[in-house]
Structure 1
Amino acid sequence: MDFTIASVLTLDGLTNGAVYALLGMGIVLVFSVTRVIFIPQGEFVAYGALTLAVFQTGQVPGTVWLLFIIAGVAAMMELVSVWRHRGSASPAVKAALRTAVPALAVGLVSLWAAPRQFPLAVQALLSLALVTAYGPLVYRVAYQSLAGSSSLVLLIVSVGVHFAMTGLGLLFFGAEGFRNPSFWDSNLSIGPLTLSGQALIIFLASAALIVLLRLFFERSLYGKALHATAVNRLGARLMGISTESAGQLTFAMAALIGALSGLLIGPTTTIFYDSGFLIGLKGFVAAVIAGLHSYPGALLGALSVGAIESFGSFWASAFKEVIVFTIVLPVLLWRSLRSPHANEEH
């Protein structure tokens, strides 16, 4: 291996690592606020890429119909829940409408826009809005009623949600894979390296989202509320912060991060209905390296995962996935020896 090959592999690893960093930070965000190890994070990646691919054909994506179904289920659950607690129809109906109307609005706009084949940037924004709308609904349907359960129960629910979303992806998108057009076709030459426009967009979008997340948590009231919920869930509730709203906002942000990752990685590889699981697992490895609590740690872990994957594919392409996921074992062993053992929950 000479310097040129090593440079190309490093660049490729950093490009993939930038996407894994977004997923890793999304997993850290969800776990910090809700204690959910969010395995379906990768499904949002596949949904984002496949939704844009279907928009490109001028057809209505299956995510629109699925969004209507989930919005209806979530609204019905909210209606029944508020009715039982308050015994009045008016607040129950209002709560159901608050749950369903934003998602229905996004779906109706998508129905109108799909056959008109707007420019790629507009279709990408519609895809982001569609998949982001799934986040609060998934939390309401699958997790909100179990928010006080143990981490093990929430993990089991996450496995179930993963299989459900994968199966629904097969139903609404089919088994055929799609590859999206690049957002920027130009190439930049840097010495012996050639940096594609799509790779540059991946770096810039990842960096911008990381900065925005930092500003959100440090400067905005909602960000501080999420941080308070992550630090002390009971204390945040006593201070008037709605943990249910915090969970829904967290899942919306996770869905946005996943959808953006799908749009970024879609032009670089063919995406199938189940491709998100493997991509999401690599983000999970980055989150585990960070201890499921550190955003800078998730970033560094993701870049390391990307570099190891790139060099591993060069030296032993058949075992590159094995090499990447084996990283988790020494990390877990080191954390187990370094941290004192304690009861899981009280």
Structure 2
Amino acid sequence: MDLSIASILMLDGVTNGAIYALLALATVLVFAVTRVIFIPQGEFVAFGALTLGMLQLGQTPGTIWFLLLMAVLVAVLDLVAGLRQGRPPARILLTVLKAAAFPVLISLFALWAAPQKFPLLVQAGLTLALVTPMGPLLYRLAYQPLADATVLVLLIVSVGVHFALTGLGLAFFGAEGFRTPAFWDASFAAGPLMLSGQTLIIFAASIALIISLWLFFERSLYGKALRATAVNRLGARLMGISSTTAGRLTFTMAAFMGALSGLLIAPTTTIFYDSGFLIGLKGFVAAVFAGLASYPGAALGAILVGLLESFSSFWASSYKEVIVFTFILPVLLWRSLRDPHSEEE
């Protein structure tokens, strides 16, 4: 291996690491606020890529029907809960509308817009608008009733949700894979490296989102509320911060970051209904590197995972996935020695 090959591999590793960084940040965010080890994070990646792929063909994406199904289920649950608690009809109606109005409206708009074959950027925006609402709806259906359960119970639920989403993805999208066109077809030479426009977009989008997250948590009231919930859930409740609202907002952000990752990665590889699991798992490995607690550590871990994957594909392409996932073992050993286990209260 000479310097030029090493430089190309490093570029590929950092590019993939930028995608994994978004997923790792989403995983850390969800765990810090809700204590959920969110294994299905990769499914949002697949849904985003497949939705854009079907819009490119002028087909109606299965995301629309999936979103409508989730909205109806949440509306029914909220209606039943309101009637059992004896709430006023106006308050029940407001709760149902807040949960289901936007998903229904964006689904109806997407039904009209899908055959129109709008420009790529418009379709990307529509994809984000379709996949992002799945986050709070999923939280309401699967996690909100178990918000006070142990981490182990929430992990088991996450495994079940992953298998459910994978099966539903096959039902709504089919077994065919999609690969979308690049958002920017330009290419630039930098010594032995050839930078594509899509690579630059990946870097720019990842950096912009990381900076936006920092500003959100440092400057906004909602961001500070999420930080308070992550530090002390009970204390946040006593200060009037709703843990339910925090959970829904967290899952909304995680769904957006997953869908955006899907849009960024779809031009570089073919995405199938079950491709999200391996992609999300690599983000999880990066999050474990940070102990599911540190955002800078998660970003650093994601870059290391991307570099390890890139060089492994050169030296032993058949075993690159094994090498990447084996990386979690010394990390877990290091974390266990560095942070001794304490019983959960």
* TM norm structure 2: 0.99
How far apart are residue 93 of structure 1 and its match?
2.2
Q: Does 1:222 align with 2:219?
A: no
Q: Over aligned residue pairs, what C-alpha RMSD do you find?
A: 0.8
How far apart are residue 90 of structure 1 and its match?
2.8
How far apart are residue 129 of structure 1 and its match?
0.8
1:222 and 1:296 map into 2 onto residues whose CA distance is 21
Look up the match of 2:81: 81
1:95 and 1:7 map into 2 onto residues whose CA distance is 54
Q: Does 1:278 align with 2:278?
A: yes
Secondary structure, counterpart of 2:132 in structure 1? helix
Look up the match of 1:5: 5
In structure 1, stretches of 5+ residues that fail to align are none
Look up the match of 1:259: 259
Q: Does 1:146 align with 2:146?
A: yes
1:19 and 1:268 map into 2 onto residues whose CA distance is 12
Q: Deviations over 1:170-213 (max 9, x none)?
A: 01111011100000111010011100110110000000000000
2:87 and 2:19 map into 1 onto residues whose CA distance is 47
Look up the match of 2:135: 135
1:196 and 1:340 map into 2 onto residues whose CA distance is 45
In structure 2, stretches of 5+ residues that fail to align are none
Asked if the contact 1:37/1:158 (under 8 Å) is kept, the reply is yes
Look up the match of 1:34: 34
Letter in 2 for 1:258: G
Asked if the contact 1:173/1:273 (under 8 Å) is kept, the reply is yes
1:1-346 superposed matches below 5 A? 1-343=1-343, 345-346=344-345
Asked if the contact 1:135/1:251 (under 8 Å) is kept, the reply is yes
Q: Deviations over 1:92-134 (max 9, x none)?
A: 2221111100111111111121111110000000001100010
1:275 and 1:226 map into 2 onto residues whose CA distance is 30
How far apart are residue 82 of structure 1 and its match?
2.2
Q: Deviations over 1:145-176 (max 9, x none)?
A: 10000001100110111011100110111101
Secondary structure, counterpart of 1:18 in structure 2? helix
Letter in 1 for 2:125: L
2:199 and 2:320 map into 1 onto residues whose CA distance is 21
Secondary structure, counterpart of 2:133 in structure 1? helix
Asked if the contact 1:133/1:252 (under 8 Å) is kept, the reply is yes
How far apart are residue 338 of structure 1 and its match?
1.7
1:119 and 1:62 map into 2 onto residues whose CA distance is 20
1:189 and 1:341 map into 2 onto residues whose CA distance is 50
2:51 and 2:161 map into 1 onto residues whose CA distance is 19
Secondary structure, counterpart of 1:194 in structure 2? strand
1:143 and 1:287 map into 2 onto residues whose CA distance is 21
Identity of aligned residues (%): 68
Letter in 1 for 2:119: P
Q: Deviations over 1:65-85 (max 9, x none)?
A: 110000000111111112222
Letter in 2 for 1:254: A
How far apart are residue 48 of structure 1 and its match?
0.1
How far apart are residue 264 of structure 1 and its match?
0.2
Number of equivalenced pairs: 345
Asked if the contact 1:20/1:306 (under 8 Å) is kept, the reply is yes
Secondary structure, counterpart of 1:86 in structure 2? coil
1:169 and 1:340 map into 2 onto residues whose CA distance is 39
2:79 and 2:315 map into 1 onto residues whose CA distance is 57
- Of stretches 102-111 and 293-302 in structure 1, the one that deviates more from structure 2 is 102-111
Letter in 2 for 1:189: A
Asked if the contact 1:72/1:100 (under 8 Å) is kept, the reply is yes
1:332 and 1:269 map into 2 onto residues whose CA distance is 30
Asked if the contact 1:80/1:92 (under 8 Å) is kept, the reply is no
How far apart are residue 87 of structure 1 and its match?
4.3
* TM norm structure 1: 0.98
How far apart are residue 341 of structure 1 and its match?
2.1
Letter in 2 for 1:308: L
